[in-house]
A and B are shown apart, each in its own frame.
Chain A
Amino acid sequence: MTPIIQIENLHYRPPSTSVNEPEILCGIDLNVESGTFVAIVGENGSGKTTLLKHLNGLLTPSEGSIVIDGLDTRRNEHRVRLQSRVGMVFQNPAEQIVASTVAEDVAFGLENLNLPSNEIQNRVTEQLTAAGILSEANRPPHLLSGGQIQRAALAGVLARDPRIILLDEPTSMLDSNARSSFLQHLYQLKQDGKTIIYITHHMEETLAADLVVIMKSGQVVISGSPQKVFNEKINLYEYGLEKPELIYLAEGFRSFGWQIPDLVLGPGTLSEAIPVYAKHHLVSTRYTHKNKLENAQTIIDVKELQFTYLPDSAFAKKALKNVDLVVTTGSIHGIAGSNGSGKSTLLQHINGIFRPESGSARVGRFSLEDSQTRLRDIIQFVGLVFQNPEDQFFEVFVGDEIAYGPKQFLMDDVRDRVRESMHLVGLDFKLFKDRRIETLSGGEKRKVALASTLVLNQNILLFDEPTAGMDPKARNEILNLFKTLQNEGKTIVFASHKLEEMANIATHLSLMHAGMVTKTGQFNHVVTDINAIKNSLLKPPLAVSLALALIEKGWPIDINNSYTASRLLSSIKDCLNA
């Protein structure tokens, strides 16, 4: 059978760039059979999105050829047919929504096919039902949650019934539940015979793919089945990637001599392979490690905080309902919750951007409910890095962007501060200060955003989804930065929906759900409370689920000390050696 996608020696250099500059894609060969699920991974700036844009003819090769379902993308007369066979969901789905209600947007692609109104209406209802957002049909898109808008965008693409669906990091802003239900939806589409090309930074999402393609510097460096790609002795970190946690744990389990099949698709396979604990059941002597921050002072104290978006309008939405939060000095405090649970709104209260509608918030010596408390005073004490900070740059050059804050406060050591903050995030001062921001890669831009807040040297630092959209390498760099900042005595609060990621660094955790903090405390206590996590519509970390499975089989595991993959493996090792 002829492959549905045939890429031969694909080279791409934007038409306006000189021949001396490196190509964005250099010599890609790839064939994809119809009905295949292909996951494309690679570090930020490796050319994944550019490759995707070639598949529906938005870009045409500078050299080489791409044939999609028998249509050569270079030929103009194939354009219309190509667009109806290939659908694409973009990185930021909000930007691809054209109409003012969800239903009208799904209809957009059908209107372009010049279908009769009643058929359009039927197809729209069908798609919205399949996507589970029929109740949102008449809502304006900008008022939907991240997960809903992603589904709306996909519904808009599916309505045209394409044979190939391209998705560019569609789950980067989704919480774990929204992500797995979105993925389920995609697997269903694959079952229905669609070919799916899927870019992601979440390595565990690639496990169910038929083909994993790893890209680096515009080339396909490795491609093959997930078993092949992740089981070979390949240093994935070199490509900005890491092994999925499931594979890492499977390898660990194998090293204990447990029978783990080659193909591990879900945690179920691992928990089934755990043997019953055979040794004499010792009462765990492991101490629950004392938190050195136990007696630390409270630095943030939020009580019964309430807040409503767009009050007095038809779209009023209560975002915070009686939030209580206590953060102690020097801690790394994670705030986890599903999309729309109120994490961002809470963070924006802590640095004074929003003020309490009712309730109180004390941050250091500032009372935020007091209208006399000036924002400029608060932000010298509390810094906030927003979600997707790259969208909020307003200067042209890196140095100017970072220097904005110190200049506003008329500080006299602006240059030194900029140099220091750039050093902290790992950007070379000389090399980067005069670079234009738009020429930076995604990871570098994120670093500039971090530096432009850190430059004010505040005591408390707030980060909203700091690692969203980052490749695993950049993600680890950011998390290590948090550690460094903590060691410098800073207090860090960061919102995320990835508990696994928090597990490696956070000392405390608060769970949020529907505008309330539902559980708060030391990280290891909260993260191992499966019910509290599930009630917050999150997924417990894989290590915690497996630790529970071990305990069920009689293993004397201290769950409070086994909530990350590496901690779990060492706990098991201790039990085996006992």
Chain B
Amino acid sequence: MRNRFEFMTNVAISQYIPRDSFIHHRDPRARVILYFLLFIGVVFTPNFFGIGTGLLIASLFYFLAKVPLKPAWLSFRRTAPFLLALALLQIALGKKVDSDVIFTTLFGIIITKRAIISAGMLLGRFFLLIILLNGFAMTISTSQISAALFYLLKPLEVIRFPVNDLTMVVQIAMRFLPMLAQSAEKIVKAQASRGGDWDQSGFNPVRQAKRVLPLIVPLIVNSLKQAETMAIAMESRGFNAAEKRSSFYELVFTWMDGLCVLVAISLCTFLILFV
């Protein structure tokens, strides 16, 4: 029986798994650039061949990173109803032009071949993005992200962009997600064990919305309290956004990292322009 009160399973970010793998050994900056380029490639690739190639790249990535595929599949399964709804809308309401080949007509709705292809593309693209996002979450820790971002955005300091603040905000936001999930889980359990309507499973958007609404206020209040405690804790451990900070990670950009970035650039270009 699936446990509907375990919210942690729904949080992809902060699921970092430290492994001794080729991907984990890359410099965090190289990893951030790599993910960024792969995301861009997948978002803009124009056809099924591009999606297929993307899947191959993602499989290779998972293989190199030695991380499991199952969490990605579970994330996809959870979002599948929404994606399917989107795909159906795309089929029913997508723009139609005279030159379209009509596939069939269902309940008076003209379904064109082009609409089916674009719905398929939508599903494929999201599937791939979810796989990549999970791969991303499992292979880079939040501190590594903030260390990498700090270096990558450093040039912006010239125009007085608050790089230090921004990277800290990113790190804290990511630390907060699992805390938020835990907090939500606690409140939902407390409501459910006092008769709150969390009994029914299945897909019923109105009912689900009704359940979620009473959660929002206590969750915000709790988050504010936690944020305050964390801010105090950070301050008492000497954090000051105006001061210079160093990093736990010694960032060393090797030729292999450079090579990975080059490969990522080529793959991204290939996915967008040559498929």
Chain A residues with a Cβ under 8 A of chain B? 53, 56, 58, 80, 83-84, 86-88, 90, 92, 94-101, 103-104, 107-118, 120-121, 124, 138, 140, 142, 156-157, 160, 309-310, 312-315, 348, 351, 353-357, 369, 371, 374-376, 379-380, 383-384, 386, 389, 391-394, 404-405, 408-409, 452-453, 456
Least CB distance, B133 to chain A, in whole angstroms: 15
Complex partner residue of A96 from B1, B197, B233, B244, CB under 8 angstroms: B233
- Is B248's beta carbon under 8 Å from chain A? yes
- Is B33's beta carbon under 8 Å from chain A? no
Q: Which 7 A-B residue pairings sit nearest by Cβ, starting from the closest?
A: A408-B195, A96-B233, A107-B248, A392-B190, A117-B250, A394-B218, A138-B18
Complex partner residue of A355 from B3, B178, B182, CB under 8 angstroms: B3
Task: Name which residue of chain B comes closest to A377, CB basis.
Answer: B199
- Number of inter-chain CB pairs below 8 Å: 199
Q: Are A353 and B191 closer than 8 Å at their CB atoms?
A: no
Name the interface residues of B92-151: CB closer than 8 Å to any CB of A. 138, 141-143
- Is B81's beta carbon under 8 Å from chain A? no
Q: Are A97 and B175 closer than 8 Å at their CB atoms?
A: yes
Complex partner residue of B238 from A160, A310, A371, CB under 8 angstroms: A160
- Is B187's beta carbon under 8 Å from chain A? yes
Q: In whole angstroms, what is the CA distance A309 to B189 when docked?
A: 15
Q: In whole angstroms, what is the CA distance A86 to B237 when docked?
A: 9
- Is B226's beta carbon under 8 Å from chain A? yes
Complex partner residue of B240 from A112, A157, A348, CB under 8 angstroms: A112
**Chain B positions within 8 Å of A96 at CB level:** 229-230, 233
Q: In whole angstroms, what is the CA distance A113 to B116 when docked?
A: 58
- Is B43's beta carbon under 8 Å from chain A? no
Least CB distance, B61 to chain A, in whole angstroms: 16
Q: Interface readout for B198-217 with A: 1 if CB under 8 Å, 0 if not?
A: 11000000000000001101
Q: Choose the segment among B5-13, B34-42, B44-52, B266-274 that binds chain A (4+ C-beta atoms closer than 8 Å).
A: B5-13
Q: Are B238 and A112 closer than 8 Å at their CB atoms?
A: yes
Q: Choose the segment among B65-73, B153-161, B253-261 that binds chain A (4+ C-beta atoms closer than 8 Å).
A: B65-73
14 chain-A/chain-B pairs, Cβ below 8 angstroms: A83-B235, A92-B229, A95-B226, A111-B246, A116-B246, A117-B250, A309-B8, A310-B6, A310-B9, A313-B70, A379-B194, A391-B183, A394-B214, A452-B194
**Chain B positions within 8 Å of A348 at CB level:** 189
Task: Name which residue of chain A comes closest to B193, CB basis.
Answer: A384
Tell me whether A142 and B182 are in contact in the complex, defined as CB-CB below 8 angstroms, given that A120-B246, A392-B187, A408-B197 are known contacts. yes
Least CB distance, A105 to chain B, in whole angstroms: 8
Q: In whole angstroms, what is the CA distance A110 to B142 when docked?
A: 17
- Is B83's beta carbon under 8 Å from chain A? no
Q: In whole angstroms, what is the CA distance A170 to B231 when docked?
A: 19
Complex partner residue of A456 from B142, B187, B195, B234, CB under 8 angstroms: B195
Q: Beyond A112-B240, A142-B178, A379-B192, list 4 extra A-B contacts (CB 8 Å).
A: A98-B234, A100-B141, A315-B15, A391-B186
Q: Are A309 and B6 closer than 8 Å at their CB atoms?
A: yes
**Chain A positions within 8 Å of B15 at CB level:** 140, 313-315
**Chain B positions within 8 Å of A90 at CB level:** 229, 232-233
Could you say which of B178, B215, B243, B246 has the most chain A C-beta atoms within 10 Å of its C-beta? B246
Q: Are A140 and B178 closer than 8 Å at their CB atoms?
A: yes
Tell me whether A58 and B244 are in contact in the complex, defined as CB-CB below 8 angstroms, given that A138-B18, A315-B15 are known contacts. no
Least CB distance, B143 to chain A, in whole angstroms: 4
**Chain B positions within 8 Å of A56 at CB level:** 236
Q: In whole angstroms, what is the CA distance A124 to B237 when docked?
A: 15
Q: In whole angstroms, what is the CA distance A393 to B171 when docked?
A: 28
Least CB distance, B27 to chain A, in whole angstroms: 13
Q: Are B248 and A95 closer than 8 Å at their CB atoms?
A: no
**Chain B positions within 8 Å of A58 at CB level:** 232, 235-236
- Is B179's beta carbon under 8 Å from chain A? yes
- Is B76's beta carbon under 8 Å from chain A? no
Q: In whole angstroms, what is the CA distance A566 to B190 when docked?
A: 37
Q: Are B199 and A374 closer than 8 Å at their CB atoms?
A: yes
Q: In whole angstroms, what is the CA distance A407 to B174 when docked?
A: 37
Complex partner residue of A117 from B9, B70, B198, B247, CB under 8 angstroms: B247
Could you say which of B5, B175, B191, B226 has the most chain A C-beta atoms within 10 Å of its C-beta? B175
Task: Name which residue of chain B comes closest to A108, CB basis.
Answer: B237
**Chain A positions within 8 Å of B239 at CB level:** 108, 112
**Chain B positions within 8 Å of A121 at CB level:** 248, 250
- Is B74's beta carbon under 8 Å from chain A? yes
Q: In whole angstroms, what is the CA distance A114 to B215 when docked?
A: 41
Tell me whether A101 and B186 are in contact in the complex, defined as CB-CB below 8 angstroms, given that A117-B250, A309-B6 are known contacts. no
Q: Are B248 and A392 closer than 8 Å at their CB atoms?
A: no
Least CB distance, A392 to chain B, in whole angstroms: 4
**Chain A positions within 8 Å of B229 at CB level:** 90, 92, 95-96
Least CB distance, B150 to chain A, in whole angstroms: 10
Q: In whole angstroms, what is the CA distance A118 to B251 when docked?
A: 11
Q: In whole angstroms, what is the CA distance A121 to B246 when docked?
A: 12
Least CB distance, B243 to chain A, in whole angstroms: 7
Q: Are B16 and A375 closer than 8 Å at their CB atoms?
A: no
Q: In whole angstroms, what is the CA distance A524 to B161 when docked?
A: 68
**Chain A positions within 8 Å of B8 at CB level:** 142, 309-310
**Chain B positions within 8 Å of A456 at CB level:** 194-195
Q: Are A371 and B1 closer than 8 Å at their CB atoms?
A: yes
Q: In whole angstroms, what is the CA distance A374 to B186 when docked?
A: 20
**Chain A positions within 8 Å of B3 at CB level:** 354-355
Least CB distance, B63 to chain A, in whole angstroms: 16
Least CB distance, B174 to chain A, in whole angstroms: 7
Task: Name which residue of chain A comes closest to B16, CB basis.
Answer: A100
- Is B22's beta carbon under 8 Å from chain A? no
**Chain A positions within 8 Å of B218 at CB level:** 392-394
Complex partner residue of B186 from A97, A118, A369, A386, CB under 8 angstroms: A386
**Chain B positions within 8 Å of A353 at CB level:** 5, 189, 192-193
- Is B162's beta carbon under 8 Å from chain A? no
- Is B53's beta carbon under 8 Å from chain A? no
**Chain A positions within 8 Å of B240 at CB level:** 80, 112
- Is B90's beta carbon under 8 Å from chain A? no
Q: Are A375 and B192 closer than 8 Å at their CB atoms?
A: yes
Least CB distance, B14 to chain A, in whole angstroms: 5
Least CB distance, A14 to chain B, in whole angstroms: 13
Q: Are B186 and A157 closer than 8 Å at their CB atoms?
A: no
Q: In whole angstroms, what is the CA distance A374 to B195 when docked?
A: 11
Q: Are B141 and A104 closer than 8 Å at their CB atoms?
A: yes
Q: Are B237 and A375 closer than 8 Å at their CB atoms?
A: no
Q: Are A103 and B248 closer than 8 Å at their CB atoms?
A: yes
**Chain A positions within 8 Å of B187 at CB level:** 392, 394
Complex partner residue of A111 from B68, B215, B226, B247, CB under 8 angstroms: B247
Q: Are B143 and A99 closer than 8 Å at their CB atoms?
A: yes
**Chain A positions within 8 Å of B237 at CB level:** 83, 87, 98, 108-109, 112, 156-157, 160
Could you say which of B178, B179, B237 has the most chain A C-beta atoms within 10 Å of its C-beta? B237
- Is B172's beta carbon under 8 Å from chain A? yes
Least CB distance, A457 to chain B, in whole angstroms: 12
Complex partner residue of B16 from A101, A157, A389, A404, CB under 8 angstroms: A101
Q: Are A405 and B194 closer than 8 Å at their CB atoms?
A: yes
Q: Are B143 and A394 closer than 8 Å at their CB atoms?
A: no
Q: Are A104 and B143 closer than 8 Å at their CB atoms?
A: yes
Least CB distance, B222 to chain A, in whole angstroms: 7
- Is B166's beta carbon under 8 Å from chain A? no
